[in-house]
């Protein structure tokens, strides 16, 4: 994975840093795994705006991703590594020995022609999916389930990973990407390796138009609003806005919003650092 800094031949390219896409092997997706993606523009079924600053953007088609990796014991060959406009990570096209094809989140180091497999008897190699009970301690993992059979919900974005640090009883102790240490059932599955495209954090859009391509409309600063529109609005001259808070009045920047009686608190061994 690499990034490219463009030459400043236009104002929009002066600061722009783009993905090198050297890991991508094809620009034509598998048609059988595409689905239409309808954009709402932030409007509900009545046509009323319920989400501000949403709308426009380039037309996209959804890639159907297999987050469950339920075809256990059947080896699959990596046919291509592809770009997915719906996520920051790259995706891999797998062709199974029984003829089925699926997309999965590509792990860093996954190559075309590589064989991957999921199940209890899989080897702890990059791209293979196993239950936490079978993964060696200290292994870097990603695409982790929170409930058995649910499908991957944790560590799915570009460059993220977690680490299996201990096992005790029916729970595994996982160090999450945020630094939080959490208990997860041993029967949940995870994929070996970190998620691909770790250079995504280095990308610089370079111009406002790129946000419009992604479907993000210009956002108005709260301190520039009137008091009727936002708690931080109003004041004489360039007022700072007072304590940072949301439109509904919820404090921001350090205020903890997690419920004290949240049922999942018992699974958190150590909270993430502030």
**Residues of the chain with pLDDT > 90: what percent?**
93
Each residue's pLDDT tens digit, 136-188: 999 999 999 999 999 999 999 999 999 999 999 999 999 999 999 999 999 99
Which H or E run includes 212?
A: helix 208-213
Which H or E run includes 192?
A: strand 189-192
pLDDT for 123 equals 94
Cβ-based neighbour number of residue 85 at 10 Å: 15
* Domains, the chain, ordered by start: 3-200 (2.40.50.140)
- In the numeric block, which tokens belong to residue 90? 């790259």
Each residue's pLDDT tens digit, 232-245: 999 999 888 889 99
Half-sphere exposure for 100 (CA within 13 Å, toward CB): 12
* Environment class of 118 (CB within 10 Å of its CB; exposed 0-12, middle 13-18, buried 19+): buried
pLDDT class of 1 with cuts at 50, 70, 90:
low
Q: Would you say residue 274 has pLDDT above 80?
A: no
Which CA distances in Å does 9 have to 14, 175, 212? 7, 45, 21
- In 3D space, the residue among 145, 270, 268, 130 whose CA is nearest the CA of residue 193 turns out to be 130
Each residue's pLDDT tens digit, 186-204: 999 999 999 999 999 999 9
N- to C-terminal Cα distance for the chain?
30
pLDDT for 215 equals 96
Cβ-based neighbour number of residue 249 at 10 Å: 8
């Amino acid at each position: 994975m690499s990034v490219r800094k463009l030459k400043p031949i236009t104002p929009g390219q002066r600061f722009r840093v783009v993905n090198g896409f050297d890991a991508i092997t094809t620009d034509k997706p598998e048609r059988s795994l595409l689905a239409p993606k309808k954009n709402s523009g932030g409007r509900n079924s009545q046509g009323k705006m319920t989400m501000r600053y949403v709308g426009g953007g380039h037309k996209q088609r959804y890639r159907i991703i297999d987050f469950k990796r339920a075809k256990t014991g059947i080896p699959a060959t990596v046919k291509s590594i592809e770009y997915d406009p719906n996520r920051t990570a790259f995706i891999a096209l797998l062709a199974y020995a029984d003829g089925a094809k699926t997309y999965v989140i590509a792990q860093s180091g996954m190559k075309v022609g590589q064989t991957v497999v999921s199940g209890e008897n899989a080897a702890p190699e990059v791209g293979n999916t196993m239950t936490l009970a079978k993964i060696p301690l200290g292994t870097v993992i990603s695409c982790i389930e929170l409930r058995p059979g649910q499908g991957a919900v944790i560590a799915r974005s570009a460059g993220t990973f977690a680490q299996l640090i201990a096992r005790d009883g029916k729970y595994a102790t996982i160090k999450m990407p945020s630094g939080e240490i959490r208990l997860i059932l041993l029967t949940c599955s995870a994929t070996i390796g970190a998620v691909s495209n770790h250079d995504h954090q280095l990308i610089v859009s370079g111009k406002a138009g790129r946000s419009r391509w992604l479907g993000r409309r210009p956002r108005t600063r709260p301190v520039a609003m009137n008091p009727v529109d936002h708690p931080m609005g109003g004041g004489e001259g360039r007022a700072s806005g007072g304590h940072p808070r949301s439109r509904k009045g919820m404090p921001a920047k350090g205020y903890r919003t997690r419920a004290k009686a949240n049922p999942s608190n018992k699974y958190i061994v150590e909270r993430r650092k502030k």
